[in-house]
């Protein structure tokens, strides 16, 4: 009997040691920074981490950027922490355990929420005095998303304005003039109708456009002077201007020029465009559509149609510093270096003189450089609130989806959305 016990014990100890040694050989390096630096008197380089949602290919490119920064810096060594899925779940778990990465990528919607929780470092004073940072060079739209209550919590590194991609072959064969860059939403409607083709059995074989919850409904609200919520949190989604924008959107939706929401989401809105089933598609200026379409047809890019004014939504992300960092000075220096270096990467930068690298880094976008530049000038983000993600969901559920499916009038949808947002914000 003793032998059996010994055997069992031996098996367990071996397994535990194996697990321990395996884990041991991978000793912990993640989480908050290590190393000691006091401003100006560093004894060794501070070890910092930066979290990212970049994919495999992009990680390699980012690693090359970080390697250069590390080689040139006397103050820090930056390590990339890849979070390839469920980014914000992981970030929140790390923050709760005071293990937040020193630097983090944050999409615009999350900055007010994290700032309010006190997990982000205010960099306003440092940035305004820093010769390496020219805040005036940033477009207002992206920079505003990094601000919260008169403080600056990060530096935007990407601002991808929504532009209009079109299938040049389909437009030409339908006799539609190529978009001039000055199309109104009414011009867009006319073109979309011409580009929607129906076969003899009445089945739609080609759609003029696709609107399935994308682009954001603000595209139309802003174009006619409206807002969903203003900077101070005042609800304006049911204002006269906002309803005017929603009415213009509703006209397009009722023209049957877009696949149903279910069709579009099942088949993928971008995939519908890439396969030539949709003629005009709203996408980010940096989206990889041209390469993916290849030689199937000629892709064109134009500014988004305008209403009373020219405005487009921009997908914006910033790099922020965790308030839990043990090396705030080194983290700030790394933030500035990394942000400046990222402008040379294959992203649409949020700064006014950042377009020179686009032809080199994204040669397939060179043909549309002018469109990207112009769109960037009037591109903006949301007036992000502390509960922005909940507000976005409410707008989708109460307004955008019912409007797409023809279940509500613009007025009713706006009223319902306003009521729902009120319960979320309490304002």
- By CB under 8 A, the count of residues binding another protein is 59
User: d(Cα 161, Cα 304) in Å, to the nearest integer?
Assistant: 9
235 beta partners = 229
User: d(Cα 187, Cα 302) in Å, to the nearest integer?
Assistant: 13
User: d(Cα 169, Cα 299) in Å, to the nearest integer?
Assistant: 8
Stretch that binds another protein, among 49-57, 145-153, 331-339, 413-421 (CB under 8 A): 49-57
Does position 49 interact with another protein (CB under 8 A)? The reply is: yes
Instruction: Please report how close the Cβ of residue 312 comes to another protein at its closest, in angstroms.
Output: 17
Instruction: Please report how close the Cβ of residue 160 comes to another protein at its closest, in angstroms.
Output: 8
Does position 20 interact with another protein (CB under 8 A)? The reply is: yes
User: d(Cα 188, Cα 303) in Å, to the nearest integer?
Assistant: 11
The residue from 141, 208, 286, 410 that contacts another protein (CB under 8 A) is: 286
Pick from 80, 81, 76: which is nearest to 47 by CA? 76
User: d(Cα 243, Cα 233) in Å, to the nearest integer?
Assistant: 18
What is the residue-wise DSSP string for 31-98?
Answer: SS-BS---TT--SSPEEEEEEE---HHHHHHHHHHHHHHHHH-SSEEEEEEE--SSHHHHHHHHHHTT
Instruction: Please report how close the Cβ of residue 32 comes to another protein at its closest, in angstroms.
Output: 10
- Contact positions with another protein (CB under 8 A) in 53-112: 53-59, 80-86, 89-90, 92-94, 96-99
Does position 265 interact with another protein (CB under 8 A)? The reply is: no
Give the E-state strand segments of 168-269 in sequence order.
197-198, 204-209
The residue from 271, 308, 364, 390 that contacts another protein (CB under 8 A) is: 271
Instruction: Please report how close the Cβ of residue 44 comes to another protein at its closest, in angstroms.
Output: 20
Does position 117 interact with another protein (CB under 8 A)? The reply is: no
Residue number, 3 or 74, with CB nearest to another protein: 3
Stretch that binds another protein, among 179-187, 213-221, 255-263, 280-288 (CB under 8 A): 280-288
How many C-beta neighbours within 10 Å does residue 45 have?
18
The residue from 9, 10, 17, 29 that contacts another protein (CB under 8 A) is: 29
Does position 15 interact with another protein (CB under 8 A)? The reply is: yes
Alpha helices in 166-307 (DSSP H): 168-173, 185-195, 218-223, 240-254, 261-267, 269-274, 289-293
Instruction: Please report how close the Cβ of residue 108 comes to another protein at its closest, in angstroms.
Output: 15
The dihedrals phi and psi of 35, each to the nearest 5 degrees, come to 90, 160
Residue number, 90 or 373, with CB nearest to another protein: 90
DSSP 8-state class, residue 138? B
Instruction: Please report how close the Cβ of residue 215 comes to another protein at its closest, in angstroms.
Output: 16
Stretch that binds another protein, among 29-37, 170-178, 215-223, 297-305 (CB under 8 A): 29-37
Q: Return left, alpha or beta for 181; rule: phi > 0 is left, psi -120 to 50 is alpha, else beta.
A: left
Report whether 366 contacts 359 (CB < 8 A). Answer: yes
Residues in the site for another protein, rule: CB under 8 A? 1, 4-5, 8, 11-12, 15-16, 18-20, 22-24, 26-31, 49, 53-59, 80-86, 89-90, 92-94, 96-99, 267-268, 271-272, 274-275, 277, 284, 286-288, 292-294, 296
């Amino acid at each position: 009997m003793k032998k059996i016990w010994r055997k069992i014990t031996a098996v367990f100890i071996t397994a535990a040691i194996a697990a321990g040694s395996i884990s041991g050989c991978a000793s912990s390096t993640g989480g908050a920074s290590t190393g000691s630096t006091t401003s100006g008197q560093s004894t060794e380089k501070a070890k910092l981490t930066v979290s990212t949602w970049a994919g495999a290919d992009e990680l390699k490119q980012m690693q090359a950027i970080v390697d250069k920064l590390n080689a040139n810096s006397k103050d820090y060594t930056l390590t990339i922490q890849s979070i390839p899925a469920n980014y914000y779940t992981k970030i929140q778990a790390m923050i709760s355990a005071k293990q937040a990465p020193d630097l983090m990528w944050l999409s615009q919607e999350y900055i007010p929420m994290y700032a309010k929780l006190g997990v982000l470092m205010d960099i306003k004073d440092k940035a305004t005095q820093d010769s390496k940072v020219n805040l005036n060079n940033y477009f207002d739209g992206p920079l505003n998303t990094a601000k919260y209550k008169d403080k600056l919590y990060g530096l935007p590194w990407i601002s991808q304005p929504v532009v209009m991609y079109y299938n040049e072959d389909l437009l030409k064969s339908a006799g539609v003039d190529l978009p001039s860059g000055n199309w109104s939403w009414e011009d867009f409607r006319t073109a979309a109708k011409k580009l929607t083709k129906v076969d003899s059995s009445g089945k739609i074989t080609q759609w003029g456009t696709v609107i399935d919850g994308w682009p954001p409904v603000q595209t139309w609200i802003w174009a006619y002077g409206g807002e969903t919520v203003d900077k101070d949190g005042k609800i304006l989604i049911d204002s006269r201007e906002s309803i005017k924008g929603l009415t213009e959107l509703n006209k397009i939706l009722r023209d049957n020029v877009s696949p149903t929401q279910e069709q579009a989401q099942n088949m993928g809105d971008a995939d519908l465009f890439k396969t030539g089933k949709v003629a005009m598609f709203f996408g980010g200026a940096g989206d990889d559509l041209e390469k993916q379409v290849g030689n199937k047809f000629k892709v064109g890019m134009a500014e988004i149609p305008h209403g009373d004014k020219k405005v487009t939504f921009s997908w914006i992300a910033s790099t922020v510093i965790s308030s839990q960092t043990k090396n705030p000075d080194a983290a700030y220096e790394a933030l500035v270096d990394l942000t400046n270096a990222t402008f040379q990467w294959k992203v649409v930068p949020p700064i006014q003189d950042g377009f020179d690298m686009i032809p080199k880094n994204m040669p397939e976008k060179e043909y549309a450089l002018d469109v990207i530049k112009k769109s960037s000038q009037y591109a903006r983000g949301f007036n992000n609130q502390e509960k922005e993600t909940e507000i976005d969901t409410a707008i989708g559920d109460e307004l955008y989806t019912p409007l797409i499916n023809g279940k509500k009038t613009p007025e009713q949808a706006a009223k319902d959305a306003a009521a729902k947002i009120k319960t979320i914000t309490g304002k």
